[in-house]
Amino acid sequence: MKATPELPLRILTHNIRYATSAPFKGERPWADRRQLLINELEHNTRHCPDSFVCLQEVLHQQLVDILNGLNDHGETPVAAEAPRWAYIGVGRDDGRQAGEYSPIFYQPAVWELRHWETTWLSETPDRPSKSWDAASIRIVTSGVFTHRTSRRTVLAMSTHLDDQGARSRFEAASIILAKIDEYRAHDTYGPLLAGVFLAGDFNSRDYQEAYKVLTTDLADAFHAVNPVRRYGNLNTFTGFSAEDESPKRIDYILLGRDDPWSVQGYAVLANRFDDGVFNSDHQAVIADVSLHNHQE
């Protein structure tokens, strides 16, 4: 099938805040936030079937809730239709269902999944582990997807870097870049890859270690878009109250710097409306991008 001149798609990333049993002041339990998150994801992907949704801090029950919510067909019996959404990812603590996921949600009718894996951001990346000064086990989820209509293939990655260890963030960023290089050099996937993107919570400001390492090879969608096309907030972390840390931009969508990406829009969405409920202590980030032919 002949490739189309360009492939428009939407990338959404959101740290949804894990379902804690000891909420912060101003934080509501997952049962109160759940539908707000599902509605956010559904609204922002409803007319964008090419979307990728990258989430962080997702416990297994939250993953199940979100997947069921996105696949709720309303009055149409679910059994009458194939699920629209699927995901890749595992819990970071055991490589199965324990601990936080950094999953990638996609629509199988639009994207053919060729391969996926979880890499632990440690000195032993093939198994659950942490290294250096990391306070928690950290992972990156990677998937190779081919667009069923255009036949473009992308490497999609979702991650959540450590909130305590500067050394571990630096090393994790280097591991992620090495993983991208590994895919680009792969005998099977390398020749197919048209573009790479990485999304997630880096726990790093744009002048700090992880961001500076990653942006040697990847371009920040915030800077790649015409500033007049930005929408919403600047900061991506808000906390749940004024007593939390000050707001800051630590969630990003990065694109392969040498890939034929263009960015049409960028947004940081609100995480609280007139009901007063924060759906998370982070705000979702969206990039509307197009993947062009190299010869264009």
Dump pLDDT digits (tens) for 224-262.
Answer: 999 999 999 999 999 998 676 789 999 999 999 999 999
Closest CA to 141 of 126, 154, 156, 124: 156
CATH number corresponding to 6-292:
3.60.10.10
Return phi, psi of residue 56, to 5°: -135, 160
Least confident among 2-16, 140-154, 228-242:
2-16
At which residue do the structure tokens 């371009």 appear? 219
**166-220 residue pLDDT tens:** 999 999 999 999 999 999 999 999 999 999 999 999 999 999 999 999 999 999 9
- Exposed, middle or buried by CB within 10 Å (0-12, 13-18, 19+), for 176? buried
Q: 1 pLDDT band (50/70/90 cuts)?
A: very low
Please check whether residue 63 is in contact with residue 31, taking contact to mean a CB–CB distance below 8 angstroms. no
Which residue spans within 124-178 are E strands per DSSP?
Answer: 139-147, 153-160
- Residue 80 has a pLDDT of 54
